[in-house]
Homo-oligomer: A and B are copies of this chain.
Amino acid sequence: MNKVGIIGYGITPFTKEDKKIESILFDSTKELFKNNSHISRSEIDAVLVSTNSNSKYLSPILSEMAGIQPKIAHSIENLCNSGTNSIVSAYSYIASGLADLVLVTGAERYDSPGSVLEWDNSRGEFKHPIFWSSIFSKSYKRKFGITDEQLAIVSVKNHKQAIENENAFSHKTFTVEEVVNSKQLTDDLRLLDCSRPCTGSASIILGSEDKVKELSENPVWITGIGQKTTSAGFTKNTSFTSMDSTKQAGNVALKMSKKNISDIDVIELHDAFSVCEPMALESLGLSQEGKSMDMIKELHDTDNFKVNPRGGLIGCGHPLGATGIAQTIEITQQLQSTANKRQVDNSKTGLVHNMSAAATSSTVLVLEK
């Protein structure tokens, strides 16, 4: 299998801007070429678009706008982990030899049709993800004796970390009291426990080993990939306090990269809601079951940015199709030591965790310098 690395990226601020998906896609693509003017558009073999937008033919449209005539061009959708699905697809095009240089651009509008999964009748009358996240929160708190105040630390920490990320949707910090007193959505969920849908765009260029060596002075390699879909319906989950698809994807990704979870220096994980952060940490093996809130509190108290340095989904906002790409860009910056005030010292190996629909589907990537 050919080695695959990350050559460049472009990302723009996450906002509530009301503009066309085609323009949003173009925003981070322009930024990418501004950051990487040495990359020739004529060398790009594939353009993959990650989005939940209902607009069609977005890859050829983006290609035309950007002046690219790719061989391979299409859109990829799998709700909230569309971004990492697109990166893995780009990886496979390069590793198979069908492409040497692939642009992956993810974008979403704040009012994305991917925010709700109409099909999942197991969510009862509540189609919105707050239904499953409420049940996750109630189950996790009950099983492990965790209070609302303890769980609120996730939101406090990630909003704090987002302050150092100029592209984040949130620019405010909050106290534990402010989180637990924010608008009550259900018995177990407050507004500040939720990542917010927003408008955002993120682009990345992946390349073959030769292209990476030619075009990047500070390359980052994708050395581990794990993906798993266990179901589509929320109630098919075997547990409401851990993430089975994440466990399986994590094991496969670590095995492929020949790493242990203890080798991971920095991690972007899918905190769509506060409870997802401890559940993901535990499912990935970074903590024992029910014990990760201690770790999260310590990271917060010591200003250690190891988990969700860019502010996670809670701090950054969640433009669905862009999220997995933005997570991957953050880990790239960390491994390149270009994350400024968010920098986690001595980051050599990083992990991305991106999931969909109550963790019925997960992607885990391992990245190395």
Q: Which residues of A contact B (CB under 8 A)?
A: 1-2, 22, 47, 52, 54-57, 59-61, 63-64, 69-79, 82, 85, 88-89, 91-98, 113-114, 117-119, 225-233, 236, 249, 252, 356-357, 360-361
Contacts and interface: CB of A to CB of B under 8 A. Distances in A.
Q: Which 9 A-B pairs have the closest CB atoms?
A: A95-B96, A60-B232, A74-B78, A96-B96, A73-B229, A92-B96, A61-B232, A74-B85, A92-B92
Nearest to A225: B98
B77 A229 contact: no
A22 B119 contact: yes
Q: Which of A57, A96, A118 has the most CB of B within 10 A?
A: A57
A76 to B, nearest CB: 5
Contact of A71 (B1, B97, B228): B228
A114 to B, nearest CB: 5
Contact of A77 (B69, B75, B232): B75
A6 to B, nearest CB: 17
Contact of A227 (B52, B72, B88): B72
Given A57-B79, A63-B231, 8 more contacts: A47-B229, A59-B229, A60-B232, A60-B361, A61-B119, A71-B229, A72-B85, A74-B89
Given A60-B232, A92-B96, A77 B78 contact: no
Nearest to A84: B74
Main secondary structure of the interface of A (DSSP, over half): mixed
A367 B240 CA distance: 47
A203 B315 CA distance: 41
Contacts of A52: 56
A93 B78 CA distance: 17
B91 A89 contact: no
Contacts of A225: 98
A160 B72 CA distance: 34
A305 to B, nearest CB: 31
Given A64-B233, A228-B69, A92 B98 contact: yes
A96 B54 contact: no
Copies of this chain in its oligomeric complex = 2
B74 A56 contact: no
Contacts of A47: 229
Contacts of A76: 74-76
Contacts of A361: 60, 73
Contacts of A227: 71-73
Given A57-B356, A95-B98, A71 B232 contact: no
Contacts of A74: 76-78, 82, 85, 89
A230 B92 contact: no
Contacts of A252: 71
A226 B56 CA distance: 22
A86 to B, nearest CB: 8
Contacts of A82: 74
B119 A69 contact: no
B56 A77 contact: yes
A77 B77 CA distance: 8
A232 B63 contact: yes
A144 B231 CA distance: 55
